[in-house]
Structure 1
Amino acid sequence: MSNVNAISNNSLLSDLSIANKTADEPQSNELGQSAFLELMITQMENQDPLSPQENTEFIAQLAQFSSVESLDKLNNNFDSFTNNFVANQALQASTLVGRSVTVPTDRTQLETGDVVTASVDVPSSSSDITVNIYTESGSLVDQISLGVQPPGELVLRWDGQNAEVNGELLDWQSSQENGVEAGLYRFEVMTQANGESTELATALSANVNSVTVGSNGSLVLNLAGIGAVSLTDVKQFNE
C-alpha cells in the first residue's frame, strides 16, 4: 500500500497540477481545457488503487473533450465569419444612401427636379393601359393613357410634368399648368384583361435615406416616402 501511496503522491502529478498554474486565470462557469485536465488529474489521484481505471477510459474522455472543444471553436469561427459578412454587407449597402432603387410598391416620393420610375409587368391579354396618379390625400392629379402595350416589362418615367415609356417621350403633359409639386404620390395602373378592368402590380423608384441592420442580421433600406424595405425586396438598383 505504501507503494500505491507513493505513486498517488508522485511529484509528476504535482508538476502537472493545473490548480497551481491557473490560480490567476479568470473563473468561468464553462468547463475549459485547464479545468478539464485538472478534473482528470484529480480523478487519477483519487481513483481506487485496487481497481484503477483503464488507460482507454482516460483516452476516451480526452477524445470526447477534444471533439467538444473543436465544435466550440468551429461555432465561434462561424459566428465571427457571420458577423464579418454582415458588417461587410452593411458597408456595401451604405453606398446606396442617396441613390435610387426600385421596389414593389404603389406609392413613392417625388423630389423636386427628380424623376419617378415605374416598372409594370404587362400581361399578354391586356388592352389599353392607363396610369392614374393620386396625391397622398387621394386626389387624382394626372392620368396618362399609354394605349396598347406589348407584353413584358413596361417602364414609365414621370417627373411631375412630362412622361416617357420605354425610353420614348410621350405626347402628353400634366394637367397641372406647372406640373405637380414634390410630395408623396400613389400610382394605379389599370388595363382591360379578359374583358375585366384589372389593376397591374407596380414597382416604383425611391431614394435611399439610410441603411440599418435588423435584429436577425438582415439589411433594411429606409426609403423616402415608403419606409423600411428589406434589401432582398429590391427589384433594381437605378443609376
Structure 2
Amino acid sequence: MSTSAISGTTGTSGQSTTKSATAAANEASDRFLKLLVTQMQNQDPLNPMDNAQVTSQMAQINTVTGIDKLNNTVSSLGSSLAQMQMLQGAGLVGRAVLLEGNDLAYNAETGKAGGGYELAANAGKVQIEILNAAGAVVDTVTQTNKGAGRQGFEWTPPEGMSTNGMRFKVTAASGNTAVTATPLTSALVQAVNTTNGTLTLELSNGSSTAYSQVKAVS
C-alpha cells in the first residue's frame, strides 16, 4: 500500500468524522436553546428564573460545546500524527536499526558477525558468549575496560559455519560486582505498517518491533 493511498484514506475519514461531530454539537446547542426558551416562556411568573440560573445553564452548554470542539481538534491532530509517523517509517525501509535483542547479525560483505550491548556502569571485563541455534556455546569474545553506555563487538565464524539462528549472551563485571548489560541487535527494515495506531517495523530477521523501540538508525 502506497503512502499516498494511506494519506488519502485517512484525510477523507478525518474530514467526515469532524463534520459529523460538528453537526452533532450544533444540534445539541439548538436543542438546548429551544428548551431554555420554552422553559422561560412557561416559567412561574411569581417565581421567575433569575440571571444566575440562566447564566449557569448557558455556561453548561458552552462547556459541552467547547469539549466537542477540543475532541475534534485532538482527533484531527491524531490523524496528522499517524500520517507523519508512516512517512518517517517509510524512510527507514532498507536501513539498519539498533534495538534491544540478542540475535547475532551477520555481515556477508565482511564475513563477520556481531552485535552490541549497553552497560549500566563501567565494566572491567565483558564476556560475550556466542550461541548456536540450539543454545550451545560455540565461542567466547572477551573485552576489557568498557565504559558505561553502548558498546559493540565482532566475531568471525569458522569457515563453513552457518550463523542462522545464532544468538549471544553478555555478562559484565567491575571487579567482583556484576554490571547490568543489555544486549542490542541490528536488523534491516523491510516494511512498515500501523497496528492499532502504532507504527510497526518488519525486520529482516523475521521479527517485528514498534518504532518507539528503535535506539539508533544507520
Q: Deviations over 1:16-41 (max 9, x none)?
A: xxxxxxxxxxx979961111122122
Does residue 1:202 correspond to 2:183, yes or no? yes
C-alpha distance in structure 2 between counterparts of 1:60 and 1:198, whole Å: 62
Q: What is the aligned partner in structure 1 of residue 124 from structure 2?
A: 126
Asked if structure 2 preserves the Cα contact closer than 8 Å seen for 1:133 and 1:141, the reply is yes
159, 178, 184: which one pairs with 2:165?
Answer: 184
Q: Give the deviation of 1:69 after TM superposition.
A: 0.8
Taking the TM superposition and a 5 Å limit, the aligned residue runs for 1:1-239 are 32-108=28-104, 110=106, 112-113=108-109, 117-121=114-118, 123-127=121-125, 129-146=126-143, 148-152=144-148, 153-158=150-155, 162=156, 174=157, 176-178=158-160, 180-181=161-162, 183-190=164-171, 193-195=174-176, 200-215=181-196, 217-225=197-205, 227-238=207-218
Taking the aligned partners of 1:50 and 1:200, their CA distance within structure 2 comes to 80
TM-superposition CA deviations, 1:113-137 (whole Å, max 9, x none): 586552234554423x443322222
RMSD over equivalenced CA pairs, Å: 3.5
Distance 1:121-1:92 versus aligned 2 partners, 3 A rule: closer
Larger radius of gyration: 1
Deviation at 1:186, TM superposition (A): 0.4
Segments of structure 2 that go 5 or more residues without pairing to the other structure are 1-22
Taking a change above 3 Å as real, the CA distance of residues 72 and 196 of structure 1, as seen in their structure-2 partners, is closer
SS of alignment partner, residue 183 of structure 1: coil
Question: Could you say what secondary structure the match of 1:78 adopts?
Answer: helix
The TM-score, its normalising length taken from structure 2, stands at 0.68
Tell me, yes or no, if the aligned pair for 1:221 and 1:228 is still in contact at 8 Å.
Answer: yes
Choose 79-88 or 54-63, whichever is displaced more.
Answer: 54-63
Contact 1:111-1:182 at 8 Å conserved across structures? no
Partner SS, residue 72 of structure 1: helix
Aligned-partner Cα distance in 2 for 1:192–1:70: 58
The amino acid of 1:126's aligned partner reads: G
The structure with the largest helix share of the pair is: 2
User: Conserved in 2, the CA contact under 8 Å of 1:110 and 1:184?
Assistant: no
What is the distance in 2 between the residues matched to 1:209 and 1:69? 45
Task: Give yes or no for contact 1:110–1:116 (8 Å, CA) kept in 2.
Answer: yes
